[in-house]
Amino acid sequence: MSATADTPRTAVVTGANKGIGRGITRRLAELGMRVYLGARDEERGLAAERELRADGLDVRFLHLDVTDETSVAQAAKRLEEEVSHLDALVNNAGVGGSALPPSQVPVAEVRRTYETNVFGVIAVTNALLPHLRRSPAGRIVNISSVLGSLTHAAALEDPTGVFPPGVFPALLEYNTSKAALNAVTVTYANELRGTGILVNAVSPGFVATDINGHRGVLTPEEGARIPVLLATLGEDGPTGTFVGEDATPTGQQLSW
């Protein structure tokens, strides 16, 4: 490892060229972190990097397609060369689904969604864990959704108030991929208990981004609030929790 011991606090955010990921990148960098802005498309990644660096932030484009093992390995290698450790990994990259009734969804669509929302998170986490283990306070934040909650789906009840009582969209690929991501979160949290690495899932709220045709009500910066809190938790912070955006300072605990 050629990185020096005086590397600043460092974070990686996946899918950070736009939307909530860019909001998280901005807020972490404003807190003084060096943030690697993960993006699968070089042009879009560099454009976002330019925009944030113009505001004086230490943001560096990191080429990272979470579904491409070579890309993931190259990103891990670059970090190995540039930083002594990684303090926060925000697994934000995500895709929506077809919005078809579950019984009509082609299984290929389900696989495609899981490649990014589930397998991509596992691939990136495993590749970057050695870097996180070298941090005195490694944090992993998985950007999930209340739509991944089995408890709330079964009760047809959305505790975040986006959908009226009795309505819970049945989005097969998206909801089940986020439910799997929630399971991934708890599983890593349990493996890493006692190591100092805290692993939590977030539902960022209903945010106006491309994924929902900008129908959300929060800005990406507002949606970044809870992810940033969890990415910068103190050493006595929680692990294995699922936190949703709300009006309170630390968000609401959601049921899995």
Q: Which residues are catalytic?
A: 174
Q: Which is nearer to ligand NAP, 15 or 138 (CB)?
A: 15
Q: Round to whole Å and give the CA distance between 146 and 153.
A: 9
Continuous segment of H or E residues that includes residue 37: strand 34-39
Q: Which is nearer to ligand NAP, 18 or 133 (CB)?
A: 18
Q: Round to whole Å and give the CA distance between 137 and 128.
A: 14
Map tokens 């990259």 to a residue: 93
Taking the complex as a whole, how short is the minimal distance between the CB of residue 154 and ligand NAP, in angstroms? Answer: 19
Q: Round to whole Å and give the CA distance between 189 and 244.
A: 18
Q: Which is nearer to ligand NAP, 44 or 53 (CB)?
A: 44
DSSP state for residue 160 in the 8-state scheme:
T
Taking the complex as a whole, how short is the minimal distance between the CB of residue 1 and ligand NAP, in angstroms? Answer: 25
Taking the complex as a whole, how short is the minimal distance between the CB of residue 88 and ligand NAP, in angstroms? Answer: 16
Q: Round to whole Å and give the CA distance between 138 and 183.
A: 20
Taking the complex as a whole, how short is the minimal distance between the CB of residue 229 and ligand NAP, in angstroms? Answer: 15
**Positions that interact with ligand NAP (CB under 6 A):** 14-15, 17-21, 40-41, 44, 64-67, 92-95, 116, 120, 143, 145, 203-204, 206-207, 209-212, 216
Q: Round to whole Å and give the CA distance between 155 and 141.
A: 26
The shares of helix, strand and coil residues in the chain, as percent rounded to the nearest 5, are 45, 15, 45
